A and B are shown apart, each in its own frame.
Chain A
Amino acid sequence: KNQVEQSPQSLIILEGKNCTLQCNYTVSPFSNLRWYKQDTGRGPVSLTIMTFSENTKSNGRYTATLDADTKQSSLHITASQLSDSASYICVVREQTGANNLFFGTGTRLTVIP
């Protein structure tokens, strides 16, 4: 069964600190993995996409990693800011089929001053 699991469910950190969010998946055959940021009451916005051959990709203070062998991805946030407070959703795309996106339940990050 294709699944995407994220941890932790929620996280509180001090402004300026780093944090790492985890995403484990069982989706196969794998196409790509996206991390989205969703502010409260808003739609998700894509942060980065990882394909099978990519191990690391950065987008400003966000760095995503992918280990396709162990089917794990992480999102590392450096020098957190108050505006980083949001839910971060991991979405894995299966290679085949029209209905082929699998969503994690998200990690709720709160950055406090």
Chain B
Amino acid sequence: DGGITQSPKYLFRKEGQNVTLSCEQNLNHDAMYWYRQDPGQGLRLIYYSQIVNDFQKGDIAEGYSVSREKKESFPLTVTSAQKNPTAFYLCASTMGGTSYEQYFGPGTRLTVT
């Protein structure tokens, strides 16, 4: 059963703690993306990776970090430096390059108090 999985669906953390969100895909897609979604705003790109062991900052990378050690996995770490981390986080993947449809995971709702 192919697709993108994100875990956990809900995540709660105390302010000042780092937290890692998981994203796994078995679609054999080369490129993976992390977005943040806030009420009343469009999706904003945090980081993306077009190939293993390489990634680029998106529009709002400050306070976040990623790794791409395997093609299937693209975890996102929300660090304590992120000033407003509470949001809905979406992971996406695409076959290759930038011309293909992005397939989205189910999302992780992160709440930091």
- Residue B85 CB within 8 A of the other chain: no
Q: Which residues of B contact A45 (CB under 8 A)?
A: 104
Are A43's CB and B42's CB within 8 A? Answer: no
Known: A42-B107, A43-B105. A105 touches B48 (CB 8 A): no
- Choose among B4, B42, B92, B99 the residue that contacts A4 (Cβ–Cβ < 8 A): B42
Contact for A41 among B58, B104, B109, CB less than 8 A: B109
Given A42-B106, A49-B101, CB of A99 within 8 Å of CB of B48: yes
B106 — which chain A residues lie within 8 A by C-beta? 42-43
| Interfacial residues of chain A within 75-113, with CB under 8 A of chain B in the complex | 89, 93, 97-106
A105 / chain B contacts, CB cutoff of 8 Å: 40-42
Interfacial chain B residues near A106, Cβ < 8 Å: 42
Q: How many B residues face the partner with a CB closer than 8 A?
A: 24
Q: How far is the CA of A100 from the CA of B104 in the complex (A)?
A: 17
A97's closest neighbor in chain B, by CB? Answer: B98
Residues in chain A near residue B4, CB distance under 8 A: 43
Is chain B's interface secondary structure helix, strand, loop, or mixed overall? loop
Chain B residues lying within 8 Å of A100, measured Cβ to Cβ, are 98
Bound-state CA distance A49–B50 (Å) is: 22
Contact A101 B107 (CB under 8 A): no
CA distance A93 to B109 in the complex (A): 26
Count the A residues whose beta carbon is within 8 Å of the partner chain — how many? 24
- Which residues of A are found within 8 Å of B43, using beta-carbon distances? 89, 103
Which chain B residues (50-69) contact chain A, with CB distance < 8 Å? 50, 56, 58-59
Chain B residues whose CB sits within 8 angstroms of the CB of A101 once the complex forms? 45, 98, 102
CB-CB under 8 A from B99, the residues of chain A are 31, 93
Query: How far apart are B74's CB and chain A's nearest CB, in angstroms?
Result: 14
CB–CB B42/A99 < 8 A: no
B residues within 8 Å of A by Cβ? 4, 40-45, 48, 50, 56, 58-59, 88, 90, 92, 98-99, 101-102, 104-107, 109
